[in-house]
Protein backbone atom coordinates (compact mmCIF):
# COMPACT_ATOMS: atom_id res chain seq x y z
CA UNK A 1 0.00 0.00 0.00
CA UNK A 2 1.30 3.46 -0.90
CA UNK A 3 2.15 6.01 1.78
CA UNK A 4 0.31 9.27 2.30
CA UNK A 5 2.83 10.53 4.86
CA UNK A 6 6.24 9.49 6.06
CA UNK A 7 7.90 10.80 9.20
CA UNK A 8 11.68 10.46 9.12
CA UNK A 9 13.28 11.10 12.52
CA UNK A 10 10.92 14.06 12.80
CA UNK A 11 11.40 16.71 15.47
CA UNK A 12 8.95 19.62 15.80
CA UNK A 13 8.94 22.35 18.40
CA UNK A 14 9.15 25.98 19.31
CA UNK A 15 12.27 28.13 19.80
CA UNK A 16 14.49 25.06 19.48
CA UNK A 17 12.59 23.27 22.27
CA UNK A 18 11.10 20.00 20.93
CA UNK A 19 7.45 19.16 21.37
CA UNK A 20 7.62 16.07 19.15
CA UNK A 21 10.93 14.36 18.64
CA UNK A 22 12.50 11.43 16.78
CA UNK A 23 9.21 10.30 15.24
CA UNK A 24 9.60 7.79 12.43
CA UNK A 25 6.75 5.98 10.71
CA UNK A 26 4.44 5.73 7.74
CA UNK A 27 0.77 6.65 7.33
CA UNK A 28 -0.67 4.62 4.46
CA UNK A 29 -3.18 6.05 2.00
CA UNK A 30 -6.72 5.56 3.26
CA UNK A 31 -5.71 5.24 6.92
CA UNK A 32 -8.10 6.30 9.68
CA UNK A 33 -5.66 7.09 12.50
CA UNK A 34 -6.39 8.34 16.01
CA UNK A 35 -3.61 10.34 17.67
CA UNK A 36 -3.80 9.84 21.43
CA UNK A 37 -1.66 11.08 24.29
CA UNK A 38 -1.60 13.02 27.57
CA UNK A 39 -1.85 16.79 27.64
CA UNK A 40 1.37 18.24 26.30
CA UNK A 41 2.20 15.11 24.31
CA UNK A 42 2.68 17.02 21.04
CA UNK A 43 -0.50 15.89 19.28
CA UNK A 44 -1.57 19.30 17.98
CA UNK A 45 2.05 20.13 17.19
CA UNK A 46 2.24 17.08 14.93
CA UNK A 47 -0.80 18.18 12.92
CA UNK A 48 0.62 21.69 12.56
CA UNK A 49 3.83 20.18 11.25
CA UNK A 50 1.98 18.09 8.68
CA UNK A 51 -0.02 21.04 7.39
CA UNK A 52 3.10 23.21 7.25
CA UNK A 53 2.36 25.71 10.02
CA UNK A 54 5.53 24.48 11.76
CA UNK A 55 8.75 23.57 10.00
CA UNK A 56 10.73 20.59 11.31
CA UNK A 57 13.59 21.37 13.67
CA UNK A 58 15.16 18.11 12.55
CA UNK A 59 14.19 15.23 10.28
CA UNK A 60 11.42 15.48 7.72
CA UNK A 61 7.76 14.99 6.82
CA UNK A 62 7.28 13.59 3.34
CA UNK A 63 3.92 13.99 1.61
CA UNK A 64 4.67 11.17 -0.78
CA UNK A 65 1.41 11.09 -2.75
CA UNK A 66 -0.37 14.22 -1.54
CA UNK A 67 0.25 17.87 -2.38
CA UNK A 68 0.09 20.34 0.50
CA UNK A 69 -2.81 22.07 -1.26
CA UNK A 70 -4.78 18.85 -0.93
CA UNK A 71 -4.70 18.86 2.88
CA UNK A 72 -7.72 19.94 4.93
CA UNK A 73 -6.95 21.02 8.49
CA UNK A 74 -9.45 21.66 11.27
CA UNK A 75 -7.77 23.17 14.35
CA UNK A 76 -9.22 23.06 17.83
CA UNK A 77 -12.39 25.10 17.91
CA UNK A 78 -10.95 27.33 20.65
CA UNK A 79 -8.39 28.60 18.10
CA UNK A 80 -11.09 29.86 15.71
CA UNK A 81 -12.14 33.52 15.95
CA UNK A 82 -15.90 33.40 16.16
CA UNK A 83 -16.25 37.18 16.50
CA UNK A 84 -15.55 37.66 12.79
CA UNK A 85 -18.83 38.80 11.16
CA UNK A 86 -19.29 36.00 8.65
CA UNK A 87 -22.38 33.92 7.94
CA UNK A 88 -22.63 30.15 7.97
CA UNK A 89 -23.10 30.20 4.19
CA UNK A 90 -19.93 32.23 3.62
CA UNK A 91 -17.93 30.12 6.07
CA UNK A 92 -18.91 26.92 4.28
CA UNK A 93 -18.29 28.52 0.87
CA UNK A 94 -14.66 29.09 1.88
CA UNK A 95 -14.19 25.37 1.26
CA UNK A 96 -14.28 26.16 -2.46
CA UNK A 97 -11.33 28.54 -2.42
CA UNK A 98 -8.98 26.13 -4.22
CA UNK A 99 -11.38 25.94 -7.16
CA UNK A 100 -12.90 29.43 -7.13
CA UNK A 101 -9.90 31.43 -5.89
CA UNK A 102 -10.01 33.92 -3.05
CA UNK A 103 -11.84 36.51 -5.16
CA UNK A 104 -13.48 34.27 -7.76
CA UNK A 105 -17.19 34.12 -8.30
CA UNK A 106 -19.32 31.15 -7.28
CA UNK A 107 -21.20 29.37 -10.03
CA UNK A 108 -24.74 27.99 -9.84
CA UNK A 109 -23.32 24.50 -9.58
CA UNK A 110 -21.05 25.53 -6.72
CA UNK A 111 -23.97 27.15 -4.92
CA UNK A 112 -25.71 23.80 -5.17
CA UNK A 113 -22.62 22.16 -3.63
CA UNK A 114 -22.68 24.64 -0.74
CA UNK A 115 -26.36 23.98 -0.08
CA UNK A 116 -25.81 20.20 -0.17
CA UNK A 117 -22.89 20.46 2.27
CA UNK A 118 -24.96 22.55 4.69
CA UNK A 119 -27.79 20.03 4.41
CA UNK A 120 -25.39 17.11 4.95
CA UNK A 121 -24.43 18.46 8.38
CA UNK A 122 -27.98 19.32 9.41
CA UNK A 123 -27.76 23.11 9.25
CA UNK A 124 -30.59 23.92 6.83
CA UNK A 125 -32.07 27.26 7.80
CA UNK A 126 -28.84 28.50 9.40
CA UNK A 127 -27.29 29.85 6.19
CA UNK A 128 -27.78 33.51 7.11
CA UNK A 129 -26.79 33.20 10.78
CA UNK A 130 -23.47 34.73 11.81
CA UNK A 131 -21.04 32.23 13.29
CA UNK A 132 -20.91 34.12 16.59
CA UNK A 133 -24.53 33.12 17.26
CA UNK A 134 -23.92 29.38 16.85
CA UNK A 135 -23.57 26.84 19.61
CA UNK A 136 -20.38 24.81 19.75
CA UNK A 137 -22.02 21.87 18.02
CA UNK A 138 -23.52 24.04 15.28
CA UNK A 139 -20.17 25.69 14.67
CA UNK A 140 -18.44 22.34 14.35
CA UNK A 141 -21.10 21.17 11.90
CA UNK A 142 -20.46 24.27 9.78
CA UNK A 143 -16.73 23.59 9.82
CA UNK A 144 -17.32 20.00 8.72
CA UNK A 145 -19.48 21.30 5.86
CA UNK A 146 -16.53 23.44 4.79
CA UNK A 147 -14.34 20.32 4.89
CA UNK A 148 -16.82 18.53 2.64
CA UNK A 149 -16.35 21.22 -0.01
CA UNK A 150 -12.57 21.14 0.29
CA UNK A 151 -12.71 17.58 -1.03
CA UNK A 152 -9.19 16.90 0.30
CA UNK A 153 -7.37 13.58 0.27
CA UNK A 154 -5.68 14.18 3.64
CA UNK A 155 -7.89 15.42 6.50
CA UNK A 156 -6.44 16.53 9.85
CA UNK A 157 -8.86 16.99 12.76
CA UNK A 158 -7.68 18.38 16.10
CA UNK A 159 -10.04 17.38 18.93
CA UNK A 160 -13.20 17.89 16.84
CA UNK A 161 -15.56 16.42 19.47
CA UNK A 162 -14.63 18.56 22.48
CA UNK A 163 -17.73 19.64 24.45
CA UNK A 164 -20.15 18.34 21.80
CA UNK A 165 -23.41 16.52 22.48
CA UNK A 166 -23.78 12.85 21.63
CA UNK A 167 -26.00 13.47 18.56
CA UNK A 168 -23.51 15.87 17.00
CA UNK A 169 -20.61 13.49 17.68
CA UNK A 170 -22.55 10.64 16.05
CA UNK A 171 -23.38 12.74 12.98
CA UNK A 172 -19.79 13.92 12.55
CA UNK A 173 -18.49 10.39 12.99
CA UNK A 174 -20.77 9.35 10.13
CA UNK A 175 -19.04 11.93 7.91
CA UNK A 176 -15.60 10.74 9.01
CA UNK A 177 -16.45 7.15 8.17
CA UNK A 178 -17.87 8.31 4.84
CA UNK A 179 -14.50 9.93 4.05
CA UNK A 180 -12.72 6.77 5.17
CA UNK A 181 -14.92 4.74 2.84
CA UNK A 182 -13.80 7.03 0.01
CA UNK A 183 -10.18 6.07 0.77
CA UNK A 184 -9.23 9.46 2.16
CA UNK A 185 -6.49 9.59 4.79
CA UNK A 186 -7.66 10.93 8.16
CA UNK A 187 -5.68 11.81 11.30
CA UNK A 188 -7.75 12.80 14.31
CA UNK A 189 -6.54 13.95 17.71
CA UNK A 190 -8.68 12.48 20.48
CA UNK A 191 -8.82 12.31 24.27
CA UNK A 192 -11.68 9.82 24.54
CA UNK A 193 -10.10 6.37 24.74
CA UNK A 194 -13.43 4.54 24.54
CA UNK A 195 -14.30 6.43 21.36
CA UNK A 196 -10.92 5.59 19.86
CA UNK A 197 -11.34 1.91 20.66
CA UNK A 198 -14.87 1.81 19.23
CA UNK A 199 -14.43 3.89 16.08
CA UNK A 200 -10.79 4.06 14.97
CA UNK A 201 -8.89 1.00 13.77
CA UNK A 202 -5.38 2.45 14.13
CA UNK A 203 -3.82 4.62 16.82
CA UNK A 204 -0.59 6.51 17.38
CA UNK A 205 0.05 6.88 21.11
CA UNK A 206 2.25 9.94 21.46
CA UNK A 207 4.19 11.26 24.44
CA UNK A 208 6.52 13.68 22.68
CA UNK A 209 7.75 10.56 20.90
CA UNK A 210 5.90 7.47 19.76
CA UNK A 211 5.03 5.10 22.59
CA UNK A 212 3.15 2.69 20.33
CA UNK A 213 1.68 2.76 16.83
CA UNK A 214 -0.56 0.15 15.25
CA UNK A 215 -3.91 -1.54 15.81
CA UNK A 216 -5.87 0.42 18.40
CA UNK A 217 -6.55 -2.61 20.59
CA UNK A 218 -2.82 -3.34 20.74
CA UNK A 219 -1.78 0.27 21.34
CA UNK A 220 -4.23 1.43 24.01
CA UNK A 221 -3.18 -0.98 26.71
CA UNK A 222 -2.93 -0.02 30.38
CA UNK A 223 0.83 -0.55 30.23
CA UNK A 224 1.29 1.75 27.22
CA UNK A 225 -0.97 4.46 28.64
CA UNK A 226 0.95 4.47 31.93
CA UNK A 227 4.23 4.66 30.02
CA UNK A 228 2.95 7.63 27.99
CA UNK A 229 1.88 9.51 31.11
CA UNK A 230 5.23 8.93 32.82
CA UNK A 231 7.16 9.98 29.72
CA UNK A 232 5.26 13.28 29.51
CA UNK A 233 5.70 13.94 33.23
CA UNK A 234 9.45 13.32 32.96
CA UNK A 235 9.98 15.42 29.85
CA UNK A 236 12.23 18.47 30.25
CA UNK A 237 10.32 21.34 28.59
CA UNK A 238 13.53 23.38 28.46
CA UNK A 239 15.58 20.74 26.67
CA UNK A 240 17.24 21.71 23.41
CA UNK A 241 16.77 19.77 20.19
CA UNK A 242 18.80 16.58 20.13
CA UNK A 243 19.92 16.10 16.54
CA UNK A 244 20.65 12.58 15.36
CA UNK A 245 21.14 11.01 11.97
CA UNK A 246 17.92 9.81 10.40
CA UNK A 247 17.39 6.09 10.50
pLDDT digits over 168-220, tens only?
A: 999 999 999 999 999 999 999 999 999 999 999 999 999 999 999 999 999 99
Distances (CA, A) of 101 to 95, 98, 108, 154: 10, 6, 16, 20
99 has pLDDT over 70 = no
pLDDT number for residue 101? 58
Task: Classify domain 1-66+153-247 at the CATH superfamily level.
Answer: P-loop containing nucleotide triphosphate hydrolases (3.40.50.300)
247 has pLDDT over 50 = no
Instruction: Count the Cβ atoms, other than its own, within 10 Å of residue 11.
Output: 24
CA atoms of 64 and 99, how far apart (whole Å): 23
pLDDT tens-digit profile of 38-71? 999 999 999 999 999 999 999 999 987 777 778 9
Percent of the chain with pLDDT over 90: 77
CA atoms of 25 and 92, how far apart (whole Å): 34
With beta carbons less than 8 A apart as the criterion, state whether 209 and 23 touch: yes
Strand, coil or helix: 115:
helix
Residues 223-227: contacts with CB under 8 Å, at least 24 apart? 225/193
Would you list the domain boundaries of the chain? 1-66+153-247, 78-138
Q: Is the pTM of this model over 0.95?
A: no
pLDDT number for residue 110? 87
Q: How many CA atoms lie within 13 A of 3 on its CB side?
A: 11
Amino acid sequence: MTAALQFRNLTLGYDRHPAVHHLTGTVANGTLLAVIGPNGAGKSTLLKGIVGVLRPLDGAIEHTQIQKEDIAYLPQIAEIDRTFPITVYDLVAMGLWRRAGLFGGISRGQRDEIEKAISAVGLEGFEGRTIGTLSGGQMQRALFARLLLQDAQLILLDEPFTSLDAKTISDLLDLIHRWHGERRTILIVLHDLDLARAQFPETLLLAREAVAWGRTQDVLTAENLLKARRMCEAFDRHAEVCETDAA
